Structure 1
Amino acid sequence: MSKKQHLIITVLSILLIITAVVSLGLGAFYIPVGDVLQLIGEKMRLLSPTSDNALPMDVLFVVRLPRVMLGLLVGAALGVSGAAIQGIFRNPLAEPGLIGISSGASLFAVLIIAFETLLFTKLSAYLGYYLLVFGAFVGAGLTAFAVYRIAVKDGRPNVTTMLLAGIAINGFAGALTGLMTYLATEQQLRTITFWMLGSLGGATWDNIAVVAPCIIFPVSLLLFFGKQLNAFSLGEMHADLLGMRTDKVKLWVVILSTLAVGSSVAIAGVIGFVGLLVPHTVRLLGGASNRYVLAGSLILGALVLTLADVISRTLIAPMELPIGVITALLGTPVFIYILIKEK
């Protein structure tokens, strides 16, 4: 990476740390930044307790910290997955939500929720949250495979066909999700609505312990595909001439991306446009080298989702807006701008 790109990564990292710390104190129960640092120091036994702080301690470590950690994980997963998928399709319009991966993951998660009591009772008792993660991963993987197979012509994916296939799959998944919503019980309806709108409100340490490895593992591996994605930007023929196994690269990038997106959807629901907005912004800031774009998308994705979560829980506090609504409001104008620019 160039000096400029290193500087951008450093600045984004500093902004992410500051935003994460500040966001720990924001919400219906406000905790000043100084108190946040004090409570963290006390929890780590670096500082002596100052007074009776049981309530802010519980709010910080039971409610806020798991939520912020989840936002960092999901934002990083969506950002890196979006950058990787754009690299494979060689187009900045590709995004897990737009090509149906997120909706496919959400649909399978909703199906597991709807039929859990009928078909998956014993499995759910043994696997718990892993069953939901597995279902979301299967849905994301099947969707990615279907879109890619439909879009490929003469060994190269057609972007227009890809987007149209994504629209069709989004519509189909939305129809089935609507059917499940209509047939759902009251308890299932609340859970399904959670998947449709996206939220970090369900974050607990137990859920994060299940999902974190399923996000950290694929995201960490995707960061090593920068060189291969740079070769892909020249075209698959050039990548083949360089001795690259393009089929294996595509397969692994799709598998790792779908695992990251599926795991994110399993715990946070559908959060759109992060995978589109983040990589495009990173390229505008520092160039198109995929090594830089992947690293920058990880940091900026976490930053964007943390900011979106702060907006969602403070704009109409003590009530919360679904985080998927916030990201859609931010991402739609960017998507329109990219369409106009590409035209």
Structure 2
Amino acid sequence: MVFFIALSQGGVVITLRETMLMLTQPVDDQLKHAIIWQIRLPRILLSMVVGAGLATCGAAMQALFRNPLADPGLIGIASGAALGAVATIVLGTSLFANFSDNLGYYAVPVGAFLSCIAVCMFIYRLGAQNGRFTIVSLLLAGIAVNAIVNAIIGILTLVSNEQQLRDLTFWSMGSLAGNHLAMIMPTLGIIIGCCIGLLRLSKPLNVYLLGEAQAKHVGINVTKLKKQVFIYTALCTAAAVAITGVIGFVGLIVPHIMRLILGPDHRYLLPACMLGGALMLSLADLFARTIMLPAEVPIGLITSAIGGPFFLIMLLKTYQGAK
């Protein structure tokens, strides 16, 4: 239902009947056909898959850290992508051998993805010393690298000109606009593959929640499990952030809501997070592009506006329950 409503609503309103006809057969109205197939459909597919990926990664990270406040940003994954995007915007035409000129529209997503993977590999190496992959070392490595990356981003922001500053500011707010099917297909493939990989780890994650010692006693390779969750989360988040910019709170809010409804069993929690994340980001995108027509509100602002009050409510309920 959300899919069809999002397809029909926007600056040009198209009825649900016309929308369904355009998806199934050729029509004479070329303008509406282009709006549906070239603008709205790629955007809606991207919002659903990115929302599903971020929510699933959030649930997996919360299980990995056994902490309901954990998300991929905790270990520097999102900031790694931000570093690549900012570096591409500010230095892409000078220090990187005309990187931006050669790749054109693809430069910022490619730069963000490669930077995120490089930062994640560095964090992985720091967190896997002496053959061990502990949560404490991973967390400390993520925090340290996150601080260093943010300092570099600050320096690049300081030396940027007015247009570059405007570009990187809007990128950091998140947006689903301007993407076409050919551009988003690699991202969709990576995110869907990582989500399937995390779904296959649902039973080991259930056992892991009891503690590492208990998981080892029943035959779970805890070190391998933690590495797999980290790798899937890093790839999925890198692909999502590279093409959409920073979109916060999806990986925090959706797992909380689904855990309250379904409980902590990851066999049901992870698929529910995929559905909930797709719904949340699709509705947020629909709201972002229709509330201030003809302008568009960055979707990161919408998700932050939803996430802030949500956590205040959760905090108040926690204190009231403690009393």
TM class, shorter-length? 0.7 to 0.9
Q: 1:138 aligns with which of 118, 139, 153?
A: 118
Asked whether the 8 Å contact 2:112–2:238 carries over to 1, the reply is no
How many aligned residue pairs are there?
A: 313
User: Distance between the aligned counterparts of 2:217 and 2:307, measured in 1?
Assistant: 37
Write the mapping of 1:65-104 to structure 2, written as runs, cut at 5 A: 65-104=41-80
How far apart in 2 are the matches of 1:226 and 1:184?
44
Q: Match for 1:326 among 298, 302, 316?
A: 302
Displacement of 1:156 in angstroms is 5.5
Match runs of 1:1-343 below 5 Å:
18-43=1-26, 49=27, 52-121=28-97, 125=102, 130-142=110-122, 157=136, 162=139, 173-340=149-316, 341=318
Q: What CA RMSD, in Å, does the superposition of the two structures yield over aligned residues?
A: 2.9
Query: 2:2 and 2:261 mapped to 1: Cα distance?
Result: 20
Contact 2:47 2:285 in 1 (8 A): yes
Conservation of the 8 A alpha-carbon contact between 2:49 and 2:188: yes
The normalised TM-score by structure 1 is 0.81
Letter in 2 for 1:38: L
CA distance in 2, matches of 1:157, 1:333: 30
Deviation string for 1:78-125 (max 9, x for gaps)? 011001101101111101235543223212332233332234337664
Q: CA deviation at 1:28?
A: 1.3
After superposition, give the CA deviation of every residue in 1:277-334 in whole Å (9 maximum; x if it has no partner). Answer: 0111111111110111111111111110000001101111111111000001111122
Aligned-partner Cα distance in 2 for 1:302–1:139: 27
Whole-angstrom distance in 2 between the partners of 1:335 and 1:166: 23
Q: Distance in 2 between matches of 1:84 and 1:232?
A: 11
Which 5+ residue runs of structure 1 have no aligned equivalent? 1-17, 44-48
Amino acid at match of 1:260: C
Identity %: 39
1:338 to partner: Cα distance: 3.8
Equivalent-residue separation in structure 2 for 1:96 and 1:175 (angstroms): 19
Which whole-Å CA distance do the structure 1 matches of 2:11 and 2:41 have between them?
15
Q: Residue 135 of structure 1 aligns to which amino acid in structure 2?
A: S
Structure 2 residue runs without a partner (length 5+): none
